[in-house]
Chains A and B, each alone.
Chain A
Amino acid sequence: DAKTTQPPSMDCAEGRAANLPCNHSTISGNEYVYWYRQIHSQGPQYIIHGLKNNETNEMASLIITEDRKSSTLILPHATLRDTAVYYCIVRVGLYGGSQGNLIFGKGTKLSVKP
């Protein structure tokens, strides 16, 4: 079963920041937080991941609370093309022989509106 809890849906105005929350209260010390998104009829797309520090890349920022029990994915300037289902996943690191398969929940359906 997925180890994360996300709201089923969210709306965001185009050009505004989209803040997608995720709860992972049972996360273990060796588990990373990953975010993927899935645009309709396409395969999931990797966005970002982190262990305990905040991370930023060209797509998004990931803010992880100090106790690591929750995180927020931030899309700084949402566009209509960001409309998708966003999945928050916790996953052990791939080193040390872990296979690293992703366990998806139902995600958050983000609708970006003009």
Chain B
Amino acid sequence: DTGVSQDPRHKITKRGQNVTFRCDPISEHNRLYWYRQTLGQGPEFLTYFQNEAQLEKSRLLSDRFSAERPKGSFSTLEIQRTEQGDSAMYLCASSPNTEAFFGQGTRLTVV
């Protein structure tokens, strides 16, 4: 499968714990995006990478969130000191130019 891969698919964590998600984009896609989606809403933009450079962060991305894309390949999204409001689907997408290809997402539940 050469699509966008996200790991894990599901994560349940206790409030206050740190979690890290991984996204493997389609090979040679230089653009990578992270989105968050809550029930009944469309995906909300979090952050964008072009190669290894993080070029934009949404105001939704609080100080507890950090994203990296070392070497311009895979990316990680870390949430520190999770809160119940962080419960959502976290989606990763990659793009070569026009259309973006999304992964299946990581569903986070904070209990």
Partner of A45, one of B55, B98, B102: B102
Asked if A46 meets B42 with Cβ closer than 8 Å, knowing A99-B31, A99-B50, A99-B56, the reply is no
Would you list which residues of chain B between 70 and 111 have a CB under 8 Å from chain A?
Answer: 91, 93, 95, 97-105
Q: Specify which chain B residues have a CB less than 8 angstroms from the CB of A105 in the assembled complex.
A: 42
Q: How many residue pairs, one in A and one in B, have C-beta atoms under 8 Å apart?
A: 55
* Count of chain B residues with a beta carbon within 8 Å of a chain A beta carbon: 26
Whether B43 pairs with A46 at a CB distance below 8 angstroms is no
Residue of A nearest to B55 (CB): A99
Flag B39-57 by CB within 8 Å of A: 1 or 0 each: 0111111001010000110
Residue of B nearest to A107 (CB): B42
Q: Specify which chain B residues have a CB less than 8 angstroms from the CB of A95 in the assembled complex.
A: 97
A76 contacts the other chain (CB 8 A) = no
CB distance from A59 to the nearest CB of B (A): 12
A15 contacts the other chain (CB 8 A) = no
Q: Is the interface of A mostly helix, strand, loop or mixed?
A: loop
Flag A72-98 by CB within 8 Å of B: 1 or 0 each: 000000000000010100000011000
Query: Complex: how many Å from CA A99 to CA B100?
Result: 11
CB distance from B99 to the nearest CB of A (A): 4
Query: Complex: how many Å from CA A100 to CA B44?
Result: 14
CB distance from A28 to the nearest CB of B (A): 17
B21 contacts the other chain (CB 8 A) = no
Asked if A94 meets B98 with Cβ closer than 8 Å, knowing A42-B104, A87-B42, A99-B31, the reply is yes
A30 contacts the other chain (CB 8 A) = no
Q: Specify which chain B residues have a CB less than 8 angstroms from the CB of A103 in the assembled complex.
A: 45
Partner of A46, one of B55, B91, B101: B101
Whether A104 pairs with B95 at a CB distance below 8 angstroms is no
Q: Which residues of A are interface residues toward B (Cβ below 8 A)?
A: 2, 34, 42-46, 49, 85, 87, 94-95, 99-107
